[in-house]
């Protein structure tokens, strides 16, 4: 399963929860695809995954989350590639 973001800034108000195995979240590059959580209304993390297998997070920026930019618990086969988190 692929979640693909184009170039641009995407205003997100809730934590993005990855709840399935074999998911890839891909942007167009750090600073080119920005997931902007400023004004976040629900959740503390920008992206959260718990107990999943084989996820890939790549080529994007996570900006201004309420808490952790990305939080992964109890997962296996996790890849972070060409990512950044800024506040």
Residue among 52, 45, 73 nearest 1 (CA)? 52
Rg (CA), the chain: 12
Share of the chain above pLDDT 90, in %: 99
Confidence of residue 70 (pLDDT cuts 50, 70, 90): very high
Residue 77: what pLDDT? 97
Sheet with 42-50, strands from edge to edge, namely 14-18, 42-50, 70-73
* pTM of the entire predicted model: 0.94
Residue 32: what pLDDT? 98
Q: How remote is the C-alpha of 41 from its chain's centroid?
A: 16
Residue among 29, 31, 73, 79 nearest 55 (CA)? 79
Which residues neighbour 19 within 8 Å (Cβ) at sequence distance 6 or greater? 49, 50, 52
């Amino acid at each position: 399963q692929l979640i693909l973001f184009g170039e641009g800034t995407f205003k997100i108000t809730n934590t993005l929860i990855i709840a399935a195995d074999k998911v890839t979240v891909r942007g167009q590059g750090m600073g080119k695809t920005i997931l902007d959580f400023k004004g976040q209304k629900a959740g503390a993390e920008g992206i959260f995954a718990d107990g999943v297998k084989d996820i890939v997070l790549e080529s994007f920026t996570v900006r201004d989350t309420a808490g952790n930019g990305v939080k992964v618990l109890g997962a296996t086969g996790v890849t972070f590639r060409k990512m950044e988190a800024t506040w």
